[in-house]
Structure 1
């Protein structure tokens, strides 16, 4: 009777280990195939271009101040020309707003004069002046990835 009980017990240890090793080989093979199928797809995060059009020079008469919230930049037009100043605080990246004496960070209190120079607060450096050029169709283009020397303007 004990022989019949052992036969009904199910899978022996040897059979179980054999099935487990076959399962492990199949699973590792599927993982390797999945990895090989993923190779052609690059690990790249595509970012939006840092260059953007702001309009024709006629849209910026002398005395104009425009804040482009989506691009995080201020556009100024004065008698010298048109210039762009970043609205990103150099302390922790907050968005500054304009005041009667320049710019101020609402979060940590950094203050900048009208040219973006730090006058108070924890900001380590001045606001960035950004490059402005004109495209072939006459539209002004701001390159937020290219800083220029403060005081640099685009002559209209």
Structure 2
């Protein structure tokens, strides 16, 4: 049997002529030594750990998103006394409530101050309202003047009760609904 260039496999060679294709001698392993890991297994494990780390990072980021600042009111029907000095078209925001009450020449109306984007409480400005969370802006009538808010602010039901006004935060009415002053 020829030895050297032509070989039909190591199985036909005598034991003393077996050829090992290695660049360094193999050292005997102890039973306590870990199994060597292949390149393919190492790449698989590293991609698994990177995926798990990315998912953990995304979860932590999602938990840090702004939460809605709306607190449950003790009662959804609120009695409001408008100040005599309230100028027409100026918002009156009752303390601890998520609404703004207006009086103009056509009557009295109330608008929710909960942003339609993510539920943050909006703040009155000279032009209307602005959301401190993502910058949405609303006109005094609740219409969106700058996004990302997808919808106008909700108009709330108002009814007269003597010198006071009753605003129902749970009842939504069509935009433009006013009660005569």
TM range (shorter): 0.5 to 0.7
Q: What do the CA deviations read for 1:38-57 (whole angstroms, capped 9, x no partner)?
A: xxxxxxxx9732111002x6
User: Is 1:134 aligned with 2:160?
Assistant: yes
1:103 paired residue number: 129
Change (3 A) 1:139 1:100: closer
Task: Count residues in correspondence.
Answer: 109
User: Residue in 2 aligned with 1:150?
Assistant: 175
The answer on whether the counterparts of 1:60 and 1:77 sit within 8 Å (CA) in structure 2 is no
Q: CA RMSD in A?
A: 2.2
1:30-79 CA-to-partner distances (Å, cap 9, x unmatched) read: xxxxxxxxxxxxxxxx9732111002x67475525311241111111111
Structure 1 segments, 4+ long, off by >6 Å, are none
Other-structure match for 1:65: 91
Report which of the two has the higher share of strand.
1
Q: Which runs of 5+ in 1 are unaligned?
A: 1-45
Q: Rg: which structure is higher?
A: 2
Looking at structure 1, the residues matched to 131 and 179 of structure 2 have their Cα atoms a distance apart, in angstroms, of: 26
Which has the larger helix fraction? 1
Compute the TM-score of the two structures, normalised by the length of structure 2. 0.54
CA deviation after TM superposition for structure 1 residue 117, in Å: 0.8
Partner Cα distance (1:88, 1:154) in 2: 22
Does residue 92 (structure 1) correspond to residue 124 (structure 2)? The answer is no
Please give the secondary structure, in 1, of the residue aligned with 2:175. Answer: coil
Deviations 1:71-96 (A, max 9, x none): 11111111111111111111111111
Distance change (3 Å), C-alpha of 1:74 and 1:60? farther
- Specify which of 112, 136, 145 is matched with residue 119 of structure 1: 145
Q: Which has the higher contact order (CA 8 A, sep 6+)?
A: 1
Asked if 1:80 corresponds to 2:112, the answer is no
What is the CA–CA distance in structure 1 between the aligned matches of 2:128 and 2:135, rounded to whole Å? 13
Any stretches of 5+ residues in structure 2 without a counterpart? 1-71
Report if aligned partners of 1:62, 1:79 keep a CA contact under 8 Å in 2: no
